[in-house]
Structure 1
Amino acid sequence: MHGPFTRALTGALGLITAAAGQVATAAPVAADSVVVGGRQALIADAPWVVALSSRDRFGGTRAGQFCGGVVVAPTKVLTAAHCLGREALGGEPWEVRDFVVIAGRAALRGQGGQEVGISDTWVNPDYDPTTNSGDLAVLTLASALPQSYVIGVARPGDPAHTPGTDADVYGWGDTTGTGTYPSTLRTARVQVLSDTACERAYPGGFGVRYRSDTMLCAGDPQGGRDACQGDSGGPLVAKGLLVGLVSWGSGCGQAENPGVYTRVSSVLPERI
């Protein structure tokens, strides 16, 4: 079994973030398998899902998509902090001249929707790239999206966090865990898991330890449905509210290794 990965794409060719054994610290890897075991999604049903894009860095095959994001205010998009790191972007976000958010479009190279520039970025100052704790960033858009694109955020103690609750993860990431990327948005149904189950799956040691204060995990008890490489920063939605952002995991769709998400309710600042 390989170690934990963050679930973003890195490099001009869209290579997966370094795997355990290739790096000394076995950093988590970006997610993109939501879409492992998932189905096609309609953007009309999930208008708050957006793609982060840079064609200069990632090429035009997938319209430059390398991570996901979620609209929480007309000019605010949440994503994973590791999506804005130098390993993913090759520099600072403001140095990527064609960095945009693709909104209102399920098919990355299709028609409709809009591509909106980024006017500012904020990375959680408590984000730890070694443990992936606090893996959250906020993008400020150069122009506002419609209010209808906005999704509400679950607050601490909301029933949406209850173990066993059905949740849906969205993204344009790997659908097989072997580098098969779709051209259109996909979604997969998973379950919010207990902190005990997550701690058992990721106790630390050679991998990354699950931290219930900044993370939650979700998966299919039988395996087969998950987020995967390319899904990082995308939303986990339960009871109509945003509860998590795709962050990291070990493999994709493995029953014993569920996906780990940023616990938005504990990491998101009160004002964004």
Structure 2
Amino acid sequence: MRRPLARALARPLALAATAAVIPFACAAPAASDSIIVGGFPVDVADSPWTVALSSRDRFGGTRSGQFCGGVAVGPTTVLTAAHCLREDVLGSPPDEVPDLRVVTGRTDLRTDRGQEIAVRRSWVNPEYDDVTNAGDFAVLSLAEPLPQDSVIGAAAAGDPAYAEGTAAMVYGWGDVTGGGDYATSLRAARVHVLADSRCERAYPGGGGGGVYLADSMLCAGEVLGGRDACQGDSGGPLVAEGRLIGLVSWGSGCGRPGSPGVYARVSDILTKLGWGTGGVEGAQAAP
């Protein structure tokens, strides 16, 4: 199962096929976060708020140093997964990584299109629990602002976008097969919001895995599997009805029947950050 690290760069991709719960980030410099399984290529111009987290020193330059995903919710504010910024992923605390960047406007990571913007400040949820995977979110403050049309609105509590059965899209540059096949260009997959009860049955806790907690997590995928986020997609956006509802967080394997993807619930993030029900417009990166 995916670990919270960047549905995650934390372990060799071969481990993504085991029953261990692993985040979707990448801890080993040689591995990169997983990609969308069962998805299709998209142009970043159609989802300009989808960004890549990059450290060339740590992860190499072949794919622009990408190791996780993120989503722009304000001109200088990006949300991502807390496990993406762990010291065992980056090699040091995020504020001590001199080349930590957010890559924006770049569909194909092998090109120099778009921008690589320095991270001015980072804030990792201090209540993030790497045992249950609860509270898996972090906030990055950018050194330069993005255009307003590169920002997406967030769905507050009670928004119908969270309803069971709602069609959603997840975006990322992660593993496309679950076997370490990382994408060089942005991909997306169509999934559906699933009942909390389905994830509660799939992830009851115990055995070293995570625990599905409906208040802070969101369950999404397909009942029969086949379409899902995967290693390297961690921190990337889950979008429904034009609004951000989740951040790629963790799961068991990629696209497996009975093992849906688990996302950090954005309405809970808004509450914890004190950004209120009106979204994150004008929000500061570090609470």
Tell me if the contact between 1:4 and 1:208 (Cα under 8 Å) persists in the aligned partners. no
Judged with a 3 Å threshold, the aligned counterparts in structure 2 of structure 1 residues 127 and 20 are, in CA distance, closer, same or farther, namely farther
Tell me if the contact between 2:24 and 2:34 (Cα under 8 Å) persists in the aligned partners. no
Aligned runs of 1:1-272 on 2, under 5 Å? 3-6=1-4, 7-10=7-10, 15-16=12-13, 28-30=22-24, 35-206=36-207, 207-268=209-270, 269-271=273-275, 272=283
CA distance in 2, matches of 1:270, 1:184: 35
CA distance in 1, matches of 2:35, 2:54: 18
How far off is 1:8 after superposition? 2.1
State percent identity of aligned pairs.
61
TM-score by length of 1: 0.92
CA distance in 2, matches of 1:84, 1:235: 17
Runs of 4 or more, structure 1, over 3 Å off, are 15-22, 31-34
C-alpha deviations, 1:141-174, integer Å up to 9, x for none? 0010100000000000100000000000000000
CA distance in 1, matches of 2:229, 2:166: 17
Which amino acid counterpart does residue 40 of structure 1 have in structure 2?
A: P
CA distance in 2, matches of 1:20, 1:42: 29
Judged with a 3 Å threshold, the aligned counterparts in structure 2 of structure 1 residues 18 and 139 are, in CA distance, closer, same or farther, namely farther
The aligned length equals 264
Give structure 1 stretches of 5+ with no counterpart: none
Q: SS at 1:237's partner residue?
A: strand
Which amino acid counterpart does residue 274 of structure 2 have in structure 1?
A: E
Judged with a 3 Å threshold, the aligned counterparts in structure 2 of structure 1 residues 4 and 98 are, in CA distance, closer, same or farther, namely closer
CA distance in 2, matches of 1:21, 1:34: 17
Judged with a 3 Å threshold, the aligned counterparts in structure 2 of structure 1 residues 99 and 154 are, in CA distance, closer, same or farther, namely same
Tell me if the contact between 1:18 and 1:29 (Cα under 8 Å) persists in the aligned partners. no
Judged with a 3 Å threshold, the aligned counterparts in structure 2 of structure 1 residues 72 and 162 are, in CA distance, closer, same or farther, namely same
Tell me if the contact between 1:34 and 1:174 (Cα under 8 Å) persists in the aligned partners. yes
TM-score by length of 2: 0.87
Tell me if the contact between 1:116 and 1:142 (Cα under 8 Å) persists in the aligned partners. yes
C-alpha deviations, 1:164-205, integer Å up to 9, x for none? 000000000000000001110000000000111110111112
